[in-house]
């Protein structure tokens, strides 16, 4: 079990895309997390127990969920948190297929002065899953937030292709160079938009650069690519049959859920971070003095909130259909 200090810090960390640590049992040497009924991303990619494939819209959202959680962890105050064992089996899906990071047993806390490429920790025997592990971490034992960026890149490419991690970087790199990326995309996800798929592939490859100094900053470079993809993906989800979406997602379409309240929205508002929240929740967040996004921990450019009329109509129609 992790040291008491780490347990205390993680028990206080709250984010919509982090599994909530409920408690710890010293005698059993076990941690107790919230229950995630849809299992791991690894199982869903393998369609374990005949689960339905994740469509490309949901995969886009999952990528953004993971990125958002990592940005939040890395920018946490006063201690930045490095996950250090990010992999598909440590990304869990709740009843609405909202992705949440788990597996914090080997996470590391980092002080403000050591956030970027500076060595944070040195281990003689680095921990983590080989396919996802930062090559520089393997060679040197030096752990930084950029180690998580490498793992994120592998997760992204797995979501894009549906393939296991071994040989994945080589295959995607060749496909991008030859202009035949479509040939290795996971067909079970549906028709990925070609431009979006290539953008994601290039982001994933950049995250997996061997030298960590060449990897992108999640907040400044990766999020700026992902954020514009969120709204189109949600619109495409809304365009699907409400009945089929409900069946695919276990009841409630995930984009109907407020990231803060984790409940179906009645008055959805779009904030400056591009995410949609329940009016009461986001207003309370802003009025309480927060100047950052609840999802990314990044500075909100303004406090304006815009009604999401399309989503509100979709929710109302779904509620009426579900009630019948």
Residues belonging to the active site: 85
CB 285 within 8 A of CB 275: no
Helix ranges (H only) for 13-82 are: 41-45, 56-74
Distance, in Å, from the CA atom of 137 to the CA atom of 212, rounded to the nearest integer, reads 9
User: What are the φ and ψ backbone dihedral angles of 106, each rounded to 5 degrees?
Assistant: -120, 20
The helix (run of H) or strand (run of E) holding residue 32 is strand 30-33
- Read off the tokens for 2: 């992790």
Distance, in Å, from the CA atom of 316 to the CA atom of 241, rounded to the nearest integer, reads 14
Three-state DSSP class for residue 301: coil
Residue 75, C-beta contacts closer than 8 angstroms, at least 6 positions apart: 219, 297, 298
Distance, in Å, from the CA atom of 239 to the CA atom of 243, rounded to the nearest integer, reads 11
Distance, in Å, from the CA atom of 148 to the CA atom of 122, rounded to the nearest integer, reads 15
Radius of gyration from C-alpha coordinates of the chain: 19
Distance, in Å, from the CA atom of 28 to the CA atom of 48, rounded to the nearest integer, reads 29
User: What are the φ and ψ backbone dihedral angles of 299, each rounded to 5 degrees?
Assistant: -65, 130
Torsion angle (degrees, nearest 10) of CA 228, 234, 236, 239: -150
């Amino acid at each position: 079990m992790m040291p008491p200090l780490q347990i205390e810090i993680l028990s206080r960390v709250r984010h919509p895309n982090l599994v909530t640590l409920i408690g710890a049992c010293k005698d059993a040497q076990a941690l107790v997390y919230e229950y995630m009924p849809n299992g791991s991303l690894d199982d869903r990619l393998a369609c374990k127990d005949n689960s339905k494939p994740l469509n490309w819209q949901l995969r886009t959202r999952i990528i953004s969920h993971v990125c958002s959680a990592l940005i939040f962890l890395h920018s946490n105050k006063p201690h930045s948190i490095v996950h250090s064992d990010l992999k598909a089996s440590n990304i869990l899906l709740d009843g609405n297929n909202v992705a949440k990071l788990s597996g914090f047993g080997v996470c590391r806390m980092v002080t403000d002065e050591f956030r970027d490429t500076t060595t944070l920790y040195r281990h003689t025997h680095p921990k983590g899953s080989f396919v996802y592990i930062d090559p520089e971490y393997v060679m040197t034992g030096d752990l930084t937030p950029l180690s998580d960026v490498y793992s994120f890149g592998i997760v992204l490419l797995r979501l894009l292709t549906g393939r296991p991690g071994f040989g994945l970087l080589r295959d995607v790199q060749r496909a991008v160079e030859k202009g035949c990326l479509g040939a290795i995309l996971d067909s079970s996800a549906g028709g990925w938009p070609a431009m979006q798929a290539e953008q994601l592939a290039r982001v994933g490859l950049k995250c997996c650069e061997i030298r960590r100094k060449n990897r992108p900053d999640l907040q400044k470079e990766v999020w700026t690519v992902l954020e514009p993809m969120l709204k189109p993906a949600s619109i495409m989800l809304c365009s699907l049959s409400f009945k089929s979406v409900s069946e695919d997602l276990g009841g409630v379409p995930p984009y109907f859920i407020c990231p803060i309240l984790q409940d179906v929205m009645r008055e959805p508002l779009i904030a400056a971070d591009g995410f949609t929240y329940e009016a009461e929740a986001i207003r309370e967040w802003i009025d309480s003095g927060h100047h950052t996004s609840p999802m990314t921990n990044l500075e909100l450019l303004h406090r304006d909130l815009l009604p999401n009329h399309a989503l509100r109509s979709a929710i109302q129609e779904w509620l009426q259909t579900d009630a019948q």
